[in-house]
Structure 1
Amino acid sequence: NTESIEALQLSLREKITVKDEREKILIASRDNLAQKETDLRESEQKRLQTEQAVHPIRDKLEQSRLNERESKLLFEQFQNEINESQFDEVVLSESITEKTTVKEVQELCNKLQEEINLLGPVNLAAIHELASEKERKGYLDSQVEDLTSASNTLEDAIKRIDKETRDRLIATFNEVNKNFTEFFRILFNGGQAQLELLGEEILDTGIQVTAQPPGKKNTTISQLSGGEKALTATALVFALFKLNPAPFCLMDEVDAPLDDSNTLRFADMVTEMSKNTQFLYVSHNKIAMEMAQQLIGVTMQESGVSRIVEVSLEEAEKMELAN
């Protein structure tokens, strides 16, 4: 009748409006997600740049230390040359007594002259060079101090970033692991499952999924059947969605390998999760279709021409009750 058609048309327009609003929300959510991913990549790039900046600074620091040691050796060499070239009157006076003959004095002078000759020519620029090396040593000491301070600052920043990243990853991993175990038990009506780190350092290790459906031994996900793999993967997806619910979740024939009992538990779980997330899923299963609030079918009445048919289960129930 006319009133029912007008009511359905009004409902259709309202649903189109709601659909448009939700598409806007979806676009905004995608933009927000893209921005978050961009921020994460920038943070990771900054961390890598910081790590790369440390290496040349360390090399310069080591080179400065080598220059400092070289300057110290050169300084000591100049100091020794200056000390050795000085005339020691005390030693000479002790070598000559009242009984010393002229010949002995001459021999002593010759010996001292030989020692002087062995020293080589006097370096008149040694004092100036010593002052210059002292100045250079002071400059290098200052450079070493600056480079050491910069290196310590960068290393502290890297440690702080690694600690914050590690703490967040551990907290997120533990929360997802807890949710994963919870959803696995619900979907399998028992059993045990968990996420395991393959190494001790969470920043660079992998993650392994272990699952033990009811009545089976503990095993990795690769050894499960098709239906068990689908339910395990669904439990992991739901665990992530519970940690950070998204506006939409799209599933494509997730229930295909499931029997009726498992499909029913899956449908109940989707209904529960739909309080915070709108689920869009492709299914050929009647049990899964029955839990939907809106059905959209694709038919081909003419060859090569597909047609979309939309059915609201709530409206259909109201019309059936009215009739």
Structure 2
Amino acid sequence: GSGARLEPSLRARVDAGTLRAGELGGELRRLGAAESEARRAAGEAAERMTSVEIEQARVESEAAEARRRLEAAGTDPGPGDDREALVAAAERLERRRETLGQVNPLAREEYARERERLDALVAQRADLEASLAELERLRTELDETVERRFTETFSAVALHFEEVATTLFPGGGGRLRLAEPAGDDEDGGSLGIEVELRPAGKRVARLSLLSGGEKALGAIAFLFALFLARPCPFYLLDEVEAALDDTNIARFVELLRRYRDRAQFIVITHQKRTMEAADILYGVTMGAEGVSQVVSRRVSREQSVETPALVPA
């Protein structure tokens, strides 16, 4: 049914989310390294810009002082050498100031460029972190959905199994139970299902300890429990009762008759007792010319398989 198709879809989405989360984690680590490098470059650019601004301020201060001294020397002339030295110093400081004026915009541009790169990386990292958080939320939600639906389905199958086992093991019964995780595995990854059956007059035993016929009955009980928990329009059973004796075949046939109105059963069998429960028989026969032919017969429920009613199929 739709529920049966949904679990694999949910699991695929969980697996895809886990893979994407791993990819985002790697991308976040790469961005973290790039962001650290961008912060370092921006810091160095800021230091260079600050250093240039300090040097520019010092040169401007010295140039202003030189100009002031030249103005003072113009009103109070001193020795010629002193005036020439002041003029040379003022010119040198002016050239230095002009040079710093050209460097300073470059430092500001470098800082602005590194800062813009850093801001872009920070924004990208924030987007990735938000995506990763959403994936983690989705994965948690899907895990919870898978676990809930598994629990619901298992409970339904276990209930039907007890019902069917009572029919197949009169005076006995059976049950399903979840197997404990193996070893130190705590995530439920190795969780399994154990089948326990109690034939009449015997103790409860696991499926592996039963006889071949009892195992076959247990498998049939499990199949029918699944059918009842997840109904489908038809079911195909391929010689599931081949290992059963006549008594147990009669119990199997009873199941077919009990649930024949809920679904169509297509049974491959060599057992006459099973054929007696069929509405229509299909057989393959070899003709005189060695050519296989499919023969069909509709069987009246009041008739045995030995005298089928001949009805066009």
Fold match by TM threshold 0.5: yes
Q: Which has the higher mean CA deviation after the structures are superposed, 299-308 or 185-194?
A: 299-308
Question: Secondary structure at 1:265's aligned position in 2?
Answer: helix
1:84 Cα deviation from its structure 2 partner: 11
Alignment partner of 1:144 is 2:125: yes
Equivalent position of 2:219 in the other structure: 233
TM-aligned CA deviation for residue 165 of structure 1: 2.6
Aligned pairs for 1:279-298 (under 5 A) are 279-295=265-281
Matched to 1:164, the amino acid is T
1:270-301 alpha-carbon deviations (Å, 9 max, x no partner): 11111212223244445434434445566669
Contact preservation (8 Å) 1:250, 1:280? yes
**C-alpha deviation, 1:187, in angstroms:** 0.9
Partner of 2:245: 259
Distance 1:267 1:75, change over 3 A: same
- 1:183-218 per-residue CA deviation (whole Å, 9 max, x = no partner) reads 12221121323142453656x445333223234444
The residue identity in structure 1 corresponding to 2:245 is: D
Please report how far the alpha carbon of residue 167 of structure 1 lies from its aligned counterpart in structure 2 after TM superposition: 2.1
User: Partner of 2:178: helix, strand, or coil?
Assistant: strand
Unmatched 5+ residue regions in structure 2?
Answer: 59-99, 308-313
Per-residue displacement from partner, 1:227-261 (whole Å, max 9, x unpaired)? Answer: 01110111011011112222323333333322333
AA aligned opposite 2:157? V
Corresponding residue for 2:87?
none
Give 2:39's aligned residue.
72
Contact conserved, 1:293 with 1:312, CA < 8 A, in 2? yes
The residue type equivalent to 1:59 in the other structure is G
Q: Please give the TM-score of this superposition, normalised by the length of structure 1.
A: 0.62
Choose the corresponding residue for 1:178, options 159, 175, 180: 159
Q: State yes or no: 1:277 paired with 2:277.
A: no
Retained in 2: the 8 A contact 1:295–1:313?
Answer: no
Change (3 A) 1:252 1:150: closer
Q: Could you say if the C-alpha distance between residues 146 and 245 of structure 1 is closer, same or farther in structure 2, counting changes exceeding 3 Å?
A: closer
- The DSSP-based 3-state class of the residue aligned with 2:235 is strand
Change (3 A) 1:181 1:85: same
Does the CA-based 8 Å contact 1:299-1:309 persist in structure 2? no
Equivalent-residue separation in structure 1 for 2:268 and 2:134 (angstroms)? 54
Structure 1 residue 245 corresponds to structure 2 residue 226: no
Question: 1:210 and 2:191 equivalent?
Answer: no
Cα deviation digits, residues 22-44 of structure 1 (max 9, x gap): xxxxxxxxxx99xx86x877766
User: Structure 2: how far apart are the matches of 1:311 and 1:79?
Assistant: 94
Q: CA RMSD in A?
A: 3.9
Q: By how many angstroms is 1:312 displaced?
A: 2.4
Counterpart residue number, 1:313: 300
Give the direction of change, closer, same or farther, for the CA distance of 1:218–1:76 in structure 2 (3 Å limit): farther
Q: Secondary structure at the match of 1:147?
A: helix
How many residue pairs align between the two structures? 251
2:29 maps to which residue? 62
CA distance in 2, matches of 1:165, 1:298: 44
Summarize the Cα distance change of 1:293–1:169 in structure 2 as closer, same or farther, 3 Å threshold: same
| Residue identity matched to 1:313 | S
| Aligned-partner SS, 2:31 | helix
| TM-score of the aligned structures, taking structure 2 as reference length | 0.63
Q: 1:149 to 1:236 in 2, by over 3 A?
A: same
**Amino acid in the other structure paired with 2:227:** F
Q: Is the 8 A contact 1:210 1:218 kept in 2?
A: no
Q: Which amino acid aligns with 1:207?
A: G
Structure index of larger Rg: 2
Q: Which runs of 5+ in 1 are unaligned?
A: 1-31, 90-121
Distance of 2:224 and 2:122 partners within structure 1: 59
Residues 222, 315 of structure 1: CA spacing in aligned structure 2 closer, same or farther, 3 A cutoff?
closer
Give the direction of change, closer, same or farther, for the CA distance of 1:182–1:74 in structure 2 (3 Å limit).
Answer: same
**C-alpha distance 131-275 of structure 1, shift in aligned 2 (>3 A):** same
Residue 181 to residue 222, structure 1, CA distance change in 2 (3 Å): same
The structure showing larger relative contact order (alpha-carbon pairs under 8 Å, at least 6 residues apart) is 2
**Cα distance, 1:169 vs structure 2:** 2.2
